[in-house]
Structure 1
Amino acid sequence: MNDLDTCLRCRHALRDHEAGRHLCNLCEDRTAAHLGAIPGLFERLDQHLARGSSSGPAVSGSKTAPAPLRIGILDMQTERGPILAPLETWVRDWEEAGYAEVNEAGTANDRVGHACRTLRFNLARATAEHPAVDEMAEEVASIWRTLSRIITGETAPRRIAVTCPCQQTLRITLDVRGVTCPACQAEYGHSEVLRLPLAQRRAAA
Structure 2
Amino acid sequence: MSGAVESGDYVWPTCLACGRDLWTNELDRLACRPCEERTAARIAELPALFRQLDTTAALMKGASRSGSPTSGSRTPPIPPRLDVLNLVSPGGVAARLGAIEDAWRATLGWTIAPWRGSPAQAVPRLAEFLANNLLWACSSYEAVGQNIDDLRRLHGECAALVNDERRPGRVQIGNCPMQVGDELCWTPLTATAASHRVRCGGCGTRWETLGEWRELRAAQEAVLAEAAGVAA
TM-score (norm 2): 0.62
Match of 2:146 among 130, 135, 145: 135
Please say if 1:23 is aligned against 2:31.
yes
CA displacement at 1:117 relative to structure 2: 1.1
Please give the per-residue CA displacement for 1:28-82, whole angstroms capped at 9, x wherever unaligned. 100111110011101111333256xxxxxxx94388948852233222222223x
SS at match of 1:159: coil
Task: Please say if residues 28 and 139 of structure 2, whose CA atoms lie closer than 8 Å, have aligned partners that are also in contact.
Answer: yes
Which amino acid in structure 2 is aligned with residue 161 of structure 1? R
CA displacement at 1:20 relative to structure 2: 3.2
Equivalent residue number for residue 175 of structure 1: none
Please say if 1:41 is aligned against 2:56.
no
TM-score (norm 1): 0.69
> Larger % of strand: which?
2
List gaps (5 residues or longer) in structure 2: 5-12, 71-75, 169-193, 199-204, 224-232
Looking at structure 2, the residues matched to 7 and 121 of structure 1 have their Cα atoms a distance apart, in angstroms, of 20
CA displacement at 1:155 relative to structure 2: 3.0
CA displacement at 1:110 relative to structure 2: 1.6
Task: Please say if residues 103 and 111 of structure 1, whose CA atoms lie closer than 8 Å, have aligned partners that are also in contact.
Answer: no
CA displacement at 1:197 relative to structure 2: 5.9
> Larger % of helix: which?
2
Looking at structure 1, the residues matched to 39 and 152 of structure 2 have their Cα atoms a distance apart, in angstroms, of 7
Equivalent residue number for residue 18 of structure 2: 10
Looking at structure 1, the residues matched to 148 and 210 of structure 2 have their Cα atoms a distance apart, in angstroms, of 29
CA gap 1:149/1:15 in 2 versus in 1, 3 angstroms = same
Looking at structure 2, the residues matched to 63 and 107 of structure 1 have their Cα atoms a distance apart, in angstroms, of 26
Higher relative contact order (CA 8 A, sep 6+): 1
CA gap 1:104/1:15 in 2 versus in 1, 3 angstroms = same
CA gap 1:87/1:16 in 2 versus in 1, 3 angstroms = same
CA displacement at 1:130 relative to structure 2: 0.6
Please say if 1:89 is aligned against 2:99.
yes
Task: Please say if residues 14 and 20 of structure 2, whose CA atoms lie closer than 8 Å, have aligned partners that are also in contact.
Answer: yes
Looking at structure 2, the residues matched to 149 and 13 of structure 1 have their Cα atoms a distance apart, in angstroms, of 31
CA displacement at 1:98 relative to structure 2: 2.9
Structure-to-structure mapping, 1:72-111, within 5 angstroms = 72-81=83-92, 83-96=93-106, 97-99=108-110, 101-111=112-122
Task: Please say if residues 21 and 128 of structure 1, whose CA atoms lie closer than 8 Å, have aligned partners that are also in contact.
Answer: yes
Q: Find the structure with the greater CA-based Rg.
A: 2
SS at match of 1:14: coil
Percent of counterpart pairs with the same letter?
A: 24
Which amino acid in structure 1 is aligned with residue 123 of structure 2? V
The aligned length equals 170
Looking at structure 2, the residues matched to 109 and 15 of structure 1 have their Cα atoms a distance apart, in angstroms, of 39
